[in-house]
Structure 1
Amino acid sequence: MSQYLIHFFAIFASSQQHDSLDTYLNIKSPYPSSHIMEYNILTSENFKTQKWSGGTTTELFIFPKSASYKKQNFQFRLSTAQVKIEKSDFSILPGISRKLMVLDGNIYLTHKKQYSKKLKKWDVDAFEGDWETSCQGKCTDFNLMTSASITGELSAIQIKKNLFVNPTIHENCTWFFMYIFSGKVSLNVNHILITIRKGDLLVIRAPTLLPFEIKTEENSELVFSEIIKIK
């Protein structure tokens, strides 16, 4: 079995009381929230796609809810992007730290006065948003953007059909995400069997240490994220 595993951790800077996940997301979930583990599944109709100079970007999740990408007042943001032209320049984002993982394709990033790096599938590059960054090549990538008070990493796992994964959730975890880049998985959360398909994002807020098991219904490529509250 060919399997790639990179651990993902992000540090969340503040704690606060919160409404239910459905209220926060302002959507009606097809699955019931629970006091045991509060979760939701976001699909393409919940995401925001817009153009940038080199292609398109799709915002999967932003925190807090009132934040916006244009104002750059978010604590963290998860997104995917399509780089559709051979040579492009990344947007300048002062005060934002970035981590980019290639999900498909090959690119060559040049950070002016910093360094250059070739990235293939699953490779990650970490850089600052105020760097002058250019890209050669086309790809699909996954992005984590964080503010000064947050840090994070990206992760992915490639796993064959009919195998099981048991994510370990940190005891101080505030948010847990799983993005299905390809394939289809099922999992049991709060004794409810749910199915998550290609392009969907599983969002779990304030997860407990209650374990859950993921089963791949097809050959699958998954991206995980864990947001951890600083003590």
Structure 2
Amino acid sequence: MSLASVRHLHPASYRRMAWKNGGGITTELVRSPADAENYDWRVSIADIAQDGDFSIFPGIDRQLMLLEGGGIELVIGTDEPTRLEQRFRKVAFPGEAPVNCYLLDGPTRDFNVMCRRGAVDAELLARTIVGPMLLFPAADTTWLLYVVNGHVQVKAPAVAAEAGDTLIVTFNDATQPVVLNGAGELVLVRFKPTPPA
């Protein structure tokens, strides 16, 4: 029986850093490869306290999900404005697009996923966990689970995560699903290589 690898990240390991354009502060949960400037993917949480522009990231595909707060309005390039007013609503956009961000009702907290275009695709989800949840083995797939609130336990290998913690599940040649139990809310990201064109 081959088990998946589960890496447990605590908030103490996260890195707070200035936005690329100097307009704010973000908390980086993890990037892959670790510490690489030209990462394949990166996950962070931004606390937005004022209106302003987003940094430019050429060649990066971005997704943003509202975690807390009164919401934001984004003007992405020449598109019509997009409003994220409800928790866990999300939007995807190219990193090289100019983005203007406007707060709707005070500061917000937002979950950010960035992937190198042509290398990695990401699926961003929010789920409530009230009992068992299964992640099934899939080749070349990595799952990231961020515990928004509550708690989560992994059966095998045995891992317990609390609110604010992050789990990274890598299957490699694993044949058994990962069984999660707990109560609360999760943000999940499924990473997999971009299919050949």
| Match 1:47 to one of 14, 23, 26 | 14
| Residue in structure 1 matched with residue 133 of structure 2 by the alignment | 166
CA RMSD after TM alignment? 2.1
Answering whether residue 75 of structure 2 is matched by residue 114 of structure 1, we say no
Partners in 2 of 1:49 and 1:66 — Cα distance?
A: 14
| Residue in structure 2 matched with residue 38 of structure 1 by the alignment | 5
Partners in 2 of 1:153 and 1:123 — Cα distance?
A: 13
| Match 2:28 to one of 44, 52, 59 | 59
Answering whether residue 195 of structure 2 is matched by residue 225 of structure 1, we say no
After superposition, residues 142-221 of structure 1 pair within 5 angstroms as 142-149=111-118, 150-159=120-129, 163-190=130-157, 192=158, 194-207=159-172, 208-216=174-182, 218=183, 220-221=184-185
SS in 2 for 1:153: strand
Q: Is the 8 A contact 1:54 1:83 kept in 2?
A: no
| Match 1:92 to one of 49, 56, 59 | 56
Q: How much has 1:66 moved relative to structure 2? A: 4.5
Alignment deviations for residues 1-39 of structure 1 (CA, whole Å, 9 cap, x no partner): xxxxxxxxxxxxxxxxxxxxxxxxxxxxxxxxxx62222
More strand by share: 2
Please report the TM-score for the alignment, with normalisation by the length of structure 1.
0.73
Q: Is the 8 A contact 2:121 2:192 kept in 1?
A: no
Please report the TM-score for the alignment, with normalisation by the length of structure 2.
0.85
| Residue in structure 1 matched with residue 39 of structure 2 by the alignment | 74
Q: How much has 1:54 moved relative to structure 2? A: 4.4
Q: How much has 1:206 moved relative to structure 2? A: 2.8
Alignment deviations for residues 129-170 of structure 1 (CA, whole Å, 9 cap, x no partner): 1111011113111111111212222101124xxx21323335
Runs of 4+ in 1 over 4 A off after TM superposition: none
Q: CA 1:146 to 1:130, structure 2 compared with 1: closer, same or farther past 3 Å?
A: same
SS in 2 for 1:210: coil
SS in 2 for 1:45: helix
| Residue in structure 2 matched with residue 129 of structure 1 by the alignment | 95
Consecutive unaligned residues of structure 1, counting only runs of 5 or more, are 1-34
Partners in 2 of 1:227 and 1:50 — Cα distance?
A: 24
Q: How much has 1:225 moved relative to structure 2? A: 1.7
Q: CA 1:126 to 1:225, structure 2 compared with 1: closer, same or farther past 3 Å?
A: same
After superposition, residues 2-21 of structure 1 pair within 5 angstroms as none
Give the aligned length.
186
User: Identity over aligned residues, as a percent?
Assistant: 28
